[in-house]
A and B are shown apart, each in its own frame.
Chain A
Amino acid sequence: MNLPFIIHYFILPVLSLAMLCSFIRLVRGPSLPDRVVALDLMATLVIGIVAVYSIATGRSAYLDVAIILALIAFLGTVAFTYYLQRGNNQQRDKNQ
């Protein structure tokens, strides 16, 4: 039972299952904020998968991907909420 065996047969399947769950929410999500939440969770999941994969392969260069992904995910979420709020205000102006 070495580390790559544990990662490939226990950790990565669980994380893939988690990815599948959040993807189902991304497809089904009744409102746009639900989808944003699912995307945010998927970005965090990918950070975890990258970290585990860097253990499995023994290459630390993959961790740079995790740094960039953490940055981009936060910026993406902020941009999504900004446009969500703006579109919301415009729609209300149209209704009045």
Chain B
Amino acid sequence: MRDIVITVFMFIGAFFMFVAALGVLRMPDLFMRLSTTTKAATLGAMSLLLATAFYFDDYSISGRIMAIIAFIVLTAPVAAHMIGRAAYFSNVPLWKGTICDELRDRYDTREHILHDPAEIEEPGQGH
């Protein structure tokens, strides 16, 4: 019974890891790759680590595994956000089918100031 649970968790983890790698290979755009990779790889690693926790069935090892999972869940979105931010500021091209880029012409990437669109239309009115 325990082996079945471990096997199921391992297959789920391997599947999501593979989906993440396929996404990073096939997606057309850096930001899509980033979004696929972060979520799917976090879920995959979490599932594989949970399988390990079920296998060893020991409090000290389970605590260590919970620490790894918590660390991955906390840091993966932060790392992805930082990569996306740096990539947007270095003008990585968006996919040609992108329909919405709200920061374009509104964000000063040098000084990191977000302008009000009304302020851009009539300069000098700002305070």
Which residues of A does B touch, CB under 8 Å? 2-3, 6-7, 10-11, 14-15, 17-22, 24-25, 31-34, 36-38, 40-41, 44-45, 47-48, 51-52, 54-55, 60, 63-64, 66-67, 70-71, 73-74, 77-78, 80-81, 84-85, 88-89, 92
Contacts and interface: CB of A to CB of B under 8 A. Distances in A.
29 contacts: A3-B7, A6-B10, A11-B11, A11-B13, A14-B15, A14-B18, A17-B18, A18-B14, A18-B22, A25-B33, A31-B30, A37-B34, A40-B80, A44-B42, A47-B72, A48-B45, A48-B49, A51-B48, A52-B10, A52-B48, A63-B65, A67-B71, A70-B72, A74-B71, A74-B75, A74-B78, A77-B82, A78-B79, A88-B89
B104 to A, nearest CB: 17
Contacts, number: 162
A88 B92 CA distance: 11
A34 B30 contact: yes
Interface stretch (B51-59, B95-103, B115-123): B51-59
B77 to A, nearest CB: 11
Across the A-B interface, give the 5 residue pairs with the lowest CB-CB distance, nearest first: A18-B21, A33-B87, A21-B21, A74-B75, A77-B79
- Interface SS majority for chain A: helix
Interface residues of B, number: 51
